[in-house]
Amino acid sequence: MKQKVFVFFPDGVGLRNFAFTEFKTIGEQMGFDIHYWNNTIFSLKDNLGFNEVKIEDHSAHKLLPIYTRARKRAELNVSRDKFNDPVYPTYKFPFNYKGLKNTLKSFYTKFLIGVYSSEKGIVKLRERINNLERSTSKYKYCKAQLEEHKPDIVFCTTQRSTQSISALLAAQDLGIPTVAFVYSWDNVPKAMQVVETDYYFVWSDLMKEEVLKYYPFVKQEQVFVTGTPQFEPHFDTSLKQSRSAFFKENNLDENKKYICYSGDDETTSPLDQYYLEDLANAVRRLNEKGENLGIIYRKCPVDFTPRYNAVIEANKDIIEVIDPIWKQVGDMWNQILPAKEDFKMLYNVCEHSEFVTNVCSSTVFDFVAHNKACIYYNYEQPQLKKGIRDIGQNYKYVHFRSMPSKDAAVFCTDKKDLEGIVDAILKGKTSNVKEGLKWFETVAGKTPTKASETIWNTINHILN
């Protein structure tokens, strides 16, 4: 009899890894009976023809946002004190004191942080969160679904969604093994582990060390290194288009060489449009010296601000916009979901660009997988003023300490140097690819093409 696996989507962020890759196909070839336990508004049955168990009850305890925020800040306080490191407070978002309701919430959150900012306190706080979620109608609803469908294991596609807590508790209370996939390379130091499951799947040895470092209640035998399906499409050559086909499809000039500018979200890089403008100015100067360059602007999929429009309009002879193929199916950032077609788009943007430039994005890994360089901007813009976040703090975050050397990306630390750096990369005099590939291996593991297969083998190991 086939073992039944519930692949659980508490939100849409896991779709890219676990619905649009070959993950399901590989699992079925290995003999698993796969059902998608779907908490999102994206219908996997209607859009992809997958077996789907839809969660229609999305209730959460009214105190959950307060308690989870307190948990995050308490964990960051413990990390700050335990490791004597000032980086952890920089992960905190400011409290909201606008209006009486927000002020009361903020004061109650601060009270909880004061009470629970210790390792024992965090365990108690997590227990309190679990008790709150067990009291919800969603907990009872999910428990009934599990009793009806009787999966052998629940595989949760992200560890950071509060919408997953009640569902996973229901599974655990029924004795069903639970697994959480740690979704992103920067999540563990940022105190973004919302759930406690029986097992955790992580990208690399580095991430396993981090989980054990930051969460003493997790034991070594609970954490498995599997890699991530995120990068598998970059090694699928069936996605590759010819240069002429890609250029024709996207109205690009075949006589030009294109540099990709990968946009950032407004929180990470609030002045991001000015870095695009700097690149456009550098390209214009190089073109005046005989080059024939253009820019492909690929926006951050969850950024719908108009902040780039003026720069793009002023440089429309240089900048071509190729939007990621994502669809907005709701009002929240995590309801902006990728389409499967975006894998092919991103593959060919990487393949047919000369290199990429951005502020601290993981697209460095997408491009080094295609042996292409990456420029990281790391200088202040003159528009920076009080209340606007300086991008420099991004590079101080813990996940950037995983770089094998400062050469794992090409850092531009002064606007005046940008033109020369661009020219040097184009002429093969500067590159981060060699060190960038080492960094990629450190972060994503040694076998990035085998992640889906490894995940299924590990699920099989747990079940047997």
- Per residue in 309-358, pLDDT tens? 999 999 999 999 999 998 776 666 556 777 789 999 999 999 999 999 99
Q: Report whether 315 contacts 280 (CB < 8 A).
A: yes
Q: CA distances (Å), 355 to each of 147, 259, 325, in order? A: 51, 6, 21
Q: Which amino acid is at 163?
A: Q
**419 is written with which tokens?**
């033109």
Q: Report whether 285 contacts 419 (CB < 8 A).
A: yes
β-strands 336-338, 326-328 pairing = antiparallel
What is the C-alpha to C-alpha distance for residues 109 and 423, in angstroms, rounded to an integer?
A: 51
Q: Which residues contact 105 (CB under 8 A, 6 or more apart)?
A: 65, 66, 96
The pLDDT of residue 339: 79
What is the C-alpha to C-alpha distance for residues 439 and 367, in angstroms, rounded to an integer?
A: 12
Q: Report whether 300 contacts 273 (CB < 8 A).
A: no
Structural Rg of the chain based on CA atoms: 23
Q: What pTM did the predictor assign?
A: 0.94
Determine the Cα angle at 397 with ends 227 and 390, to 5°: 130
What is the C-alpha to C-alpha distance for residues 161 and 324, in angstroms, rounded to an integer?
A: 24
The pLDDT of residue 371: 98
Q: Report whether 334 contacts 13 (CB < 8 A).
A: yes
Q: Report whether 48 contacts 64 (CB < 8 A).
A: no
The pLDDT of residue 12: 84
Torsion of CA 385, 389, 390, 393, to 10 degrees: 150
Q: Which residues of the chain are under the pLDDT cut of 70?
A: 329-335
Q: Report whether 359 contacts 370 (CB < 8 A).
A: no
272-288 and 418-426 helices cross at what angle (nearest 10)? 60
Q: Report whether 314 contacts 299 (CB < 8 A).
A: no
Secondary structure, 3-state, the chain: CCCEEEEEECCHHHHHHHCCCCHHHHHHHCCCEEEEEECCCCCHHHHHCCCEEECCCCCCCCCHHHHHHHHHHHHHHHHHHHCCCCCHHHHCCCCCCCHHHHHHHHHHHHHHHHHHCCHHHHHHHHHHHHHHHHCCHHHHHHHHHHHHHCCCEEEECCCCCHHHHHHHHHHHHCCCCEEEECCCCCCCCCCCCCCCCCEEEECCHHHHHHHHHHCCCCCHHHEEECCCHHHHHHHCHHHCCCHHHHHHHCCCCCCCEEEEEECCCCCCCCCHHHHHHHHHHHHHHHHHCCCCEEEEEECCCCCCCCCCHHHHHHCCCCEEECCCCEEECCCCHHHEEECCHHHHHHHHHHHHCCEEEECCCCHHHHHHCCCCEEEEECCCCCCCCCCCCCHHHHHHCHHHHHCCCHHHCEEECCHHHHHHHHHHHHCCCCCCHHHHHHHHHHHHCCCCCCHHHHHHHHHHHHHC
The pLDDT of residue 330: 62
**79 is written with which tokens?**
């990390």
How distant is the alpha carbon of residue 232 from its chain centre?
15
